[in-house]
Amino acid sequence: MRRIYFALPLLSVVLMIAVSGAVFARGASEAGSDERTVVDVMIASDTNIFDWYADHLKPLFEAANPEYELNLVHTGAEGAGGNGPIADRAYAALQTGNDPIVSYFETWNPLEPIGALDDGLWLEINEDNVPNISNAIDAVLAGSTGFDVPYRGSQVILAYNADRLLEILVERGEVAAGTTEVPEEFVPSTFPELMEWVQEFPGEFTYPRPDTTGAGRNFVTRAILQANDLNQDVFTVEAYAQRFGTGELSREDIDAINDEFYAGAWEMLNEIEPYLYDDGAYPSGAAAVTRLLTDEVITMITIWSDQALQAKSLGLLPPNTRFIQLADLPMVGGYASSAIPTNATNLEGALALANFLLSSDAQESVVRVIGGFPAVSWDTLPAELQEDFNDVITDDVPSFGGVWIGAAIEGWYTNVAPEIER
Amino acid sequence: MAAQAPSLWTTFRRNTIRSFAAMLRQRWFGISMLLLLAAFILGPMLNVLVWAFTDARIQPPRLVPEQWSLKWWGETFTRLDVAGGFMTSVGISLTVTLVAALICLPASYAFARMKFRGRTPFLLSFLMVNAFPRFGIYITIAVVFFRLGLVGTVPGVVLIQLVNTLLFMIWIPTAAFQGVDRSLEEAALDAGASPLRVFVQITLPMVLPALSASLLLTFVGTFYETQGALLIGIPNVKTLPVVIITLINHHIRQLGAVLSVALWVPSLVLLIFAQRVLRGGTLAAGFGL
Amino acid sequence: MALLIVYPAALSVFDTLTATSADGSTRFTLESYVTFFQLPDALPNLWFTLRITVVTVTILFALCFPIAYYLRFSTSQLSVPVRFLALFPMFVPGIVTAFALIRFLGDNGWIENILFSLTGWEGWVSPIAKPQGIVIGLVWEGVPVTVLVLTAGLSQVPNHLIESARDVGANGRQVFFRIIFPQIRRSVMIVLTLNFLGVFGAFTIPLLLGGASPQMYGHYMANRLYGIGQYTHAQTAAVIMFLISAAVGTLYVRSVVNQRMEKGE
């Protein structure tokens, strides 16, 4: 019995040495075994975007550019920092003159980390280094700082459980029992109608917190646009930079932005708060809000269009789930933008990837696979695609500069989220 | 297993009537504790287990799906290099645990037994290492690691995770060493035992439960550590949590469920292993008589 | 090795205490703390974090001490599954815990549906996205460490001490308070301290199980830094969190030192 005390630690020590030796050896052999050069891509978006890269873009890109291999890294959920630590790391490498061991940030706002843009961390994008940027439409460029590659307008839609809505309507006597279709007047098609709908069906709608997923952020930015008479010219990067520069926003700036541009939206959102699910228990992240729909807790949520379509085709959503986009202006919070550090390990590869993302192939994938809006003009895309997506083709894709988001999140948390006494 | 331990129970038995009442009380207490724990701990886990085998969705208010399926298992494991991440994580966690033990156990013995200036600040510095929120200091940490050429390497990940373990590996063993009854050691020394023999036969058995507890906590804590591994290891060294973060977060909840269930199997093996070590420790304390 | 973190942390503390004047010189100032506490949610969130921490640590101790006590002194076969269950949460990543609890305790979750089908009771209130949700999640996560450390501490109490106390006629309560408790004081202190530190700095559980506001500090800091891009505030919050943790840690280390002095060693 006694011997075991010594046998066990000894055994584990031997095991530790063996396994750690194996790992070190593995790490060493991996480097330099492939002739292709690796492009390290940091992805911090929701899981649908990572899947899209892994299943579609990576094979497409590597076929078109056989000299490169993409190494995709998911750096975590939104709300948890995501690419932040890696951008910090690239900034540190710039300061020490080291190789940052990273080449491409799938989404990044080049105004962060504070000071990095002025110190030359982010590469200025122009037609010389990314030729395809010339294809980008004006609405896209308006939301860009010039140090990023805007390439996809993701779309957030409304998903609702039609059976559940019918049940409520029948119970209320609004429609006759046995009705199979929800009458049109009970389905919102514009933002004001949605606000009314929420109040008409208390506890049946919610949206997630804006910093945890685009499904919340795009809804909030849509409310902001609504409060500004759908005037998108207000929220360009240029307008922002002229007034607030590229540094950290001061308290006064944030207050000014909120008073001037966001106050109307907060009023609207506060007005519907008592009618939201659980009095405004805003879910954290896309998975948490989708659960409320799938487990039949509530009737309507905001959701990424591609996640919605995929979940529906796999039978993960309630059987009679329908999707709607607002007809007055879709819920698009601007274009997602990539950024490339000037000290990128594989700068050539990163630029090739950026150029590829704005190519016709990749832009078609944006439309077909993730149900987003292309960053290039529809005219440059295949005619077949235009026919297939005739319904969603719109020139009126809202533009909302990413730089405005920080103050919006701050404003939402201080003006909308404060706890109601429960 | 249980019969070997000379515990209270055997002592109680000698005391006739009271022993019976005590045993009843213990059994009743044990059963209710087991039920409480099972509901609290196992309930949510059963839920995950069910989801790992759910074909599509569970129509509320049902608790289990109408159709079971294994399809998500294939889906999960073909998606990412889970096996590679697992091996990397096991290797790194074992290395971290081993190095931490080699550094910390002698150190904690010294902290417990020797008086030296600066003991308190020293003990507190381990707290600083652990309790200072990393978010704010990523850039500075990265600068240090870049200067040392450790970014994107296994030794770099080992180092940053090692820093995380110091608190557990110093504080718990220090407390354990301090808790050893010095009079027992002195009695053995008086009886002519060598200091090494006293350490191995008297001190060590008494602190073994605490040592194995801190080793276990270190290993598991390192295995699931994400922040440091992400900051320093990316993109060359991908530990398991870094590989699977996209699946755990996935909007298709089955993928995360499959992965967690799959992770429980090695965890259970480790737990059984740990159970033995812990039980051994308890026995050892008994032998310390 | 501690320098890898201690140096960056010290630098960050220094940063929050200084400002660069217009002429480029560095001066000492508490400005960043003043502006930080002027944020409308800085203080409420701090109180909230402390409240949640104290409640969670208390519940953890009250729940786990009996378990550890039982594990130490029981010879019943039941102690094997009890120990097993108590250690299990250690192997479950925080995100999985959070979603499992959401589907277990949330609206239309297992508890609600089981209660409804058994009793027809419809009054279940979901704790998710409320302070209660954070506490439940953190307790769930904290059970293994608490049980492990307390069991280890209890197993250091020599049986012969208890037996001899019984031989001279001590009753159960006397044995506990005179013999066992003094021996495990250190373990109790260490578990309270470690739990405080762990809960106080928690991130994943408060993010996923808590409400949008108020936020716990770990979550609040990340939100400031990555959601809003306010580095200075995040850094200040980090220093404040550290100071509170350090105060609790000092209490622990001090008490251990003092204990030794009492004994006159």
A79 touches chain C (CB under 8 A): yes
What was the pLDDT predicted at C159?
Answer: 79
Q: Which of B120, B141, B143 sits opposite C253 (nearest CB)?
A: B120
Choice between B284 and A145, residue whose per-residue pLDDT is larger: A145
Q: Are B91 and B237 in contact (CB under 8 A)?
A: no
Choice between A422 and B27, residue whose per-residue pLDDT is larger: B27
| CATH architecture label of A156-333+406-415 | 3-Layer(aba) Sandwich (3.40)
Q: Are A50 and A43 in contact (CB under 8 A)?
A: yes
Inter-chain CB proximity B140 and A92 less than 8 Å: yes
Nearest CA to B53 out of B75, B31, B33, B36 is that of B75
Phi, psi (rounded to 5 degrees) for C43: -70, -45
Q: Across residues A246-259, what is the average pLDDT?
A: 87
What was the pLDDT predicted at B60?
Answer: 81
Give pTM, 2 decimals.
0.88
| CATH architecture label of A37-152+335-395 | 3-Layer(aba) Sandwich (3.40)
Q: Are A326 and A190 in contact (CB under 8 A)?
A: yes
Chains that touch C (3 or more CB pairs under 8 A): A, B
Phi, psi (rounded to 5 degrees) for A149: -115, 90
Choice between B134 and A419, residue whose per-residue pLDDT is larger: B134
Local confidence band at A61 (pLDDT 50, 70, 90 cut-offs)? very high
Inter-chain CB proximity C229 and A418 less than 8 Å: no
Q: How many domains does chain B have?
A: 1
- Mean pLDDT estimate for chain A: 87
**Exposure on the CB side of residue B274, measured as CA atoms within 13 A:** 27
To probe the interface with A, which of B197, B245, B246, B259 has the most A CB atoms within 10 Å?
A: B246
Per residue in B76-107, is it b (16+ CB within 10 Å) or e — as a string?
A: beebbebeebbbbbbbbbbbbbbbbbebbbeb
Q: Please report whether residue C202 resides in a domain.
A: yes
- Mean pLDDT estimate for chain B: 81
CA atoms of A304 and C264, how far apart (whole Å):
67
Count other C-beta atoms under 10 Å from residue B202's C-beta. Answer: 19
CA atoms of C54 and A205, how far apart (whole Å):
34
- Residues of chain C neighbouring B45 (CB-CB closer than 8 A): 88, 92, 100
CA atoms of A72 and A80, how far apart (whole Å):
18
Longest dimension (CA), chain B: 73
If you count them, how many residues does chain A have? 422
**pLDDT tens-digit map of A190-206:** 999 999 999 999 999 99
Long-range contacts of C8-13, Cβ-Cβ distance < 8 Å, separation of 24 or more: C8/B137, C8/B140, C8/B141, C8/B143, C8/B144, C9/B128, C9/B132, C9/B137, C9/C242, C11/B137, C11/B140, C12/B132, C12/B136, C12/B137, C12/B140, C12/C235, C12/C238, C12/C239, C13/C239, C13/C242
Q: Which amino acid is at A113?
A: P
- Residues of chain A neighbouring B253 (CB-CB closer than 8 A): 287, 291, 316
Whether residue B21 is predicted with pLDDT greater than 60 in this model: the reply is no
Structure tokens at A208: 């997630």
Phi, psi (rounded to 5 degrees) for A157: -125, 175
Choice between B287 and A382, residue whose per-residue pLDDT is larger: A382
**Exposure on the CB side of residue B253, measured as CA atoms within 13 A:** 31
What was the pLDDT predicted at B279?
Answer: 55
Kindly write down the DSSP assignment for every residue of B160-211, as one continuous string. Answer: HHHHHHHHHHHHHHHHHHHHS-HHHHHHHHHTT--HHHHIIIIIHHHHHHHH
Dihedral sign computed on CA atoms, order C88, B263, A310, A163: negative
Q: Across residues A39-46, what is the average pLDDT?
A: 91
Q: Please report whether residue C4 resides in a domain.
A: no
What was the pLDDT predicted at B283?
Answer: 39
User: What are the Cα distances from residue A413, in Å, to A20, A78, A408, B81, C36?
Assistant: 46, 16, 9, 38, 16
- Residues of chain A neighbouring B92 (CB-CB closer than 8 A): 20, 23
Whether residue A394 is predicted with pLDDT greater than 70 in this model: the reply is no
C129 touches chain A (CB under 8 A): yes
Among A352-356, B256-260, B281-285, the minimum mean pLDDT is found in: B281-285
Long-range contacts of A387-391, Cβ-Cβ distance < 8 Å, separation of 24 or more: none
Edge-to-edge strand ranges of the sheet holding A336-338: A336-338, A149-153, A373-374
Chain centroid to Cα A118, Å, comes to 26
Q: Which of B30, B125, B144 sits opposite C76 (nearest CB)?
A: B30
Chain centroid to Cα A201, Å, comes to 28
Inter-chain CB proximity C85 and B38 less than 8 Å: yes
Q: Across residues A200-229, what is the average pLDDT?
A: 94
**Parallel, antiparallel or unpaired: strands A156-161 and A205-206:** unpaired
What was the pLDDT predicted at A205?
Answer: 97
Q: Across residues C160-166, what is the average pLDDT?
A: 82
Using a 10 angstrom Cβ sphere, with 0-12 exposed, 13-18 middle and 19 or more buried, the burial of residue C185 is: middle
CA atoms of B57 and B72, how far apart (whole Å):
13
- Mean pLDDT estimate for chain C: 85
Q: Which of C7, C70, C186 sits opposite B178 (nearest CB)?
A: C186
**pLDDT tens-digit map of C209-258:** 998 889 999 888 888 887 787 888 888 888 999 899 989 988 888 777 65
Q: Across residues B152-163, what is the average pLDDT?
A: 92
CA distance B80 to chain C (A): 18
Q: CATH 3.40.190.10 in chain A: give the residue spans.
A: 37-152+335-395, 156-333+406-415
Q: Are B208 and B179 in contact (CB under 8 A)?
A: no
What was the pLDDT predicted at A187?
Answer: 95
CA atoms of A171 and A165, how far apart (whole Å):
10
> Which CATH number fits the domain that encloses residue C125?
1.10.3720.10
Q: Please report whether residue C6 resides in a domain.
A: no
Alpha helices in A83-187 (DSSP H): 84-96, 138-142, 162-172
Helix (H, G, I), strand (E, B) or coil at B31: helix
- Residues of chain A neighbouring C106 (CB-CB closer than 8 A): 291, 295, 297
What was the pLDDT predicted at B265?
Answer: 80
Local confidence band at B284 (pLDDT 50, 70, 90 cut-offs)? very low
Whether residue C64 is predicted with pLDDT greater than 70 in this model: the reply is yes
Per residue in B236-251, is it b (16+ CB within 10 Å) or e — as a string?
A: bbbbbbbbbbbbbbbb
CA atoms of B239 and B88, how far apart (whole Å):
6
Choice between A172 and C1, residue whose per-residue pLDDT is larger: A172
Local confidence band at A16 (pLDDT 50, 70, 90 cut-offs)? low
Choice between A21 and B255, residue whose per-residue pLDDT is larger: B255
Inter-chain CB proximity C74 and B26 less than 8 Å: yes
Local confidence band at C265 (pLDDT 50, 70, 90 cut-offs)? very low
Whether residue A325 is predicted with pLDDT greater than 50 in this model: the reply is yes
Structure tokens at A344: 């990128």
Whether residue A60 is predicted with pLDDT greater than 50 in this model: the reply is yes
Q: Please report whether residue C3 resides in a domain.
A: no
Whether residue A406 is predicted with pLDDT greater than 70 in this model: the reply is yes
Per residue in A168-200, is it b (16+ CB within 10 Å) or e — as a string?
A: bbeeeeebeeeeeebeeebbbbebebbbebbeb
Percent of chain B predicted with pLDDT > 90: 22
Local confidence band at A22 (pLDDT 50, 70, 90 cut-offs)? low
Q: Are C98 and C204 in contact (CB under 8 A)?
A: yes
Q: Please report whether residue B176 resides in a domain.
A: yes
Q: Across residues A36-59, what is the average pLDDT?
A: 91
CA atoms of A338 and A44, how far apart (whole Å):
11
Using a 10 angstrom Cβ sphere, with 0-12 exposed, 13-18 middle and 19 or more buried, the burial of residue A259 is: exposed
Which helix (H) or strand (E) is C125 found in, with range?
none
Nearest CA to B162 out of B241, B109, B232 is that of B232
Q: Which of B43, B133, B163 sits opposite C4 (nearest CB)?
A: B163
Q: Please report whether residue B53 resides in a domain.
A: no
Q: Which of B94, B205, B249 sits opposite A47 (nearest CB)?
A: B249
Q: Please report whether residue C10 resides in a domain.
A: no
What was the pLDDT predicted at B63?
Answer: 85
Tell me the residue range of the domain where C255 lies: 15-262
A217 touches chain C (CB under 8 A): no
**pLDDT tens-digit map of B86-121:** 999 999 999 999 999 999 999 999 888 877 777 778
Whether residue A13 is predicted with pLDDT greater than 60 in this model: the reply is no
**pLDDT tens-digit map of B164-218:** 888 889 888 988 888 887 888 889 899 888 889 988 888 888 888 888 888 888 9
Count other C-beta atoms under 10 Å from residue C76's C-beta. Answer: 18
Among B26-40, B175-189, C186-200, the minimum mean pLDDT is found in: B26-40
Q: Across residues A45-54, what is the average pLDDT?
A: 89
What was the pLDDT predicted at A43?
Answer: 93
Inter-chain CB proximity B163 and C1 less than 8 Å: yes
Local confidence band at C262 (pLDDT 50, 70, 90 cut-offs)? very low
What was the pLDDT predicted at A260?
Answer: 93
Most confident of A79-88, A127-136, A399-408: A127-136
ipTM above 0.90, yes or no: no
Q: Are A156 and A303 in contact (CB under 8 A)?
A: yes
Structure tokens at B31: 């059963």
Tell me the residue range of the domain where B135 lies: 82-287
What was the pLDDT predicted at C257?
Answer: 61
CA atoms of A130 and A141, how far apart (whole Å):
14
What angle is formed at CA B40 by the lines to CA A287 and CA A420, rounded to 5 degrees?
55
Q: Are A148 and A122 in contact (CB under 8 A)?
A: yes
Q: Across residues B243-249, what is the average pLDDT?
A: 82
Q: How many domains does chain C have?
A: 1
